[in-house]
A and B are shown apart, each in its own frame.
Chain A
Amino acid sequence: MKHRRQASPEQWNYGKVSAGSRIFDIANHILLGLLCLLMVYPLWYVLCSSLSDPSLLMRHKGILLFPLDFSFAGYEKVLNYKKLWNSYLVTFFVVIAGTGLNMFFSILFAFVMSRRGIMWHKLITGLAVFTMYFSGGMIPTYLVVKGVGLYDSIWAMIIPGLISTYNCIILRTAFYGIPDSLEESAKIDGAGDLRVLFTICVPLIVPSIATVALFYAVGHWNAWSAALLYIRNERLMPLQMVLRALLIQGEAIEVTGGQDLQTELNNMLLKYVVIVVSTVPILCVYPFIQRFFTKGVMIGAVKG
Chain B
Amino acid sequence: MSKLAARQATPAVRLPKKSFRQRVVIDFRKNWVIYAIALVCLSYYFVFRYAPMGGLAIAFKNYRPARGLWGSSWVGFKWFEQFFSSYYFPRLLRNTLTINLLSLLIGSTLPILLALLLNEIRSSAYKRTVQTVTYMPHFVSLVVACGIVLDMLSYGGLFNQILGLFGVSPILFSNVPEYFPWIYVFSDVWQNLGYNSIVYLAALSAINVELFDAAAIDGCNRFQRVLHVTIPGIMPTIILLLLMKVGSMMSIGYEKIILLYNDAVLERADVFSSFVYRYGMLGGNYSYSAAVDLFNNVVNILLLVVFNAVSRKVSDISLW
Which residues on A are within 8 Å of B, measured CB to CB? 5-12, 14, 18, 21, 24-25, 28-29, 31-33, 35-36, 39-40, 42-43, 45-46, 58, 60-64, 105, 108-109, 111-112, 115, 117-120, 124, 127-128, 131, 133-145, 148, 159-160, 162-163, 192-194, 218, 221-222, 224-225, 229, 240, 243-244, 246-248, 271, 275, 278-279, 282-283, 286-287, 290, 293-294, 297-298, 301, 303-304
Please state if A39 and B133 are interface contacts (CB–CB under 8 Å). yes
B126 touches A (CB below 8 Å): yes
Given A36-B133, A62-B161, A109-B37, 11 further pairs, Cβ under 8 A: A9-B230, A12-B212, A35-B130, A42-B190, A140-B55, A143-B52, A221-B141, A222-B143, A243-B141, A278-B144, A297-B195
Inter-chain CA distance A214–B212, complex, in Å, is 37
Interfacial chain A residues near B104, Cβ < 8 Å:
none
B158's contact among A45, A142, A145, A192, by CB below 8 Å, is which? A45
Inter-chain CA distance A304–B45, complex, in Å, is 19
What per-residue 1/0 map shows which CB atoms of B121-157 lie under 8 Å from chain A? 1100010011011111101111110111111100010
Inter-chain CA distance A293–B195, complex, in Å, is 9
Please state if A61 and B165 are interface contacts (CB–CB under 8 Å). yes
Inter-chain CA distance A40–B24, complex, in Å, is 59
Question: Which of B6-14, B90-98, B274-282 interfaces with chain A?
Answer: B274-282
What per-residue 1/0 map shows which CB atoms of B189-218 lie under 8 Å from chain A? 010011100110010111111001100100
| Closest B residue by C-beta to A162 | B44
Which residues on B are within 8 Å of A, measured CB to CB? 23-24, 27, 31, 33-35, 37-38, 40-42, 44-45, 47-56, 58, 69, 114, 117-122, 126, 129-130, 132-137, 139-144, 146-152, 156, 158, 161-162, 164-165, 190, 193-195, 198-199, 202, 204-209, 212-213, 216, 221-222, 225-226, 229-230, 233, 237, 254-255, 259, 273, 276-277, 280-281, 286, 289-290, 293-294, 296-297, 301, 304, 319-320
* Cβ-closest 4 pairs across A and B: A136-B52, A247-B147, A140-B55, A137-B293
Interfacial chain A residues near B237, Cβ < 8 Å:
301
Please state if B199 and A275 are interface contacts (CB–CB under 8 Å). no
Q: What distance in Å separates the Cβ of A98 from its nearest Cβ neighbour in chain B?
A: 14
Please state if A39 and B137 are interface contacts (CB–CB under 8 Å). yes
Interfacial chain A residues near B146, Cβ < 8 Å:
247-248
Inter-chain CA distance A61–B137, complex, in Å, is 25
Inter-chain CA distance A193–B139, complex, in Å, is 38
Please state if A163 and B143 are interface contacts (CB–CB under 8 Å). no
Given the known inter-chain contacts A139-B280, A160-B48, A162-B44, please indicate yes or no for A8 contacting B38, CB distance below 8 A.
Answer: no
Please state if B164 and A8 are interface contacts (CB–CB under 8 Å). no
- Interface of A, helix, strand, loop or mixed by DSSP: helix
Interfacial chain B residues near A278, Cβ < 8 Å:
141, 144
7 contacts between A and B (CB under 8 A): A32-B118, A43-B140, A139-B55, A160-B48, A163-B45, A225-B255, A244-B147
Inter-chain CA distance A225–B165, complex, in Å, is 39
Inter-chain CA distance A298–B134, complex, in Å, is 18
Given the known inter-chain contacts A42-B190, A137-B52, please indicate yes or no for A28 contacting B139, CB distance below 8 A.
Answer: no
Inter-chain CA distance A289–B135, complex, in Å, is 12
A194's contact among B33, B129, B213, B294, by CB below 8 Å, is which? B33
Please state if A136 and B139 are interface contacts (CB–CB under 8 Å). no
| Closest B residue by C-beta to A245 | B143
| Closest B residue by C-beta to A109 | B41
Inter-chain CA distance A46–B82, complex, in Å, is 46
Given the known inter-chain contacts A40-B136, A118-B31, please indicate yes or no for A159 contacting B48, CB distance below 8 A.
Answer: yes
Inter-chain CA distance A108–B44, complex, in Å, is 13
| Closest A residue by C-beta to B194 | A39
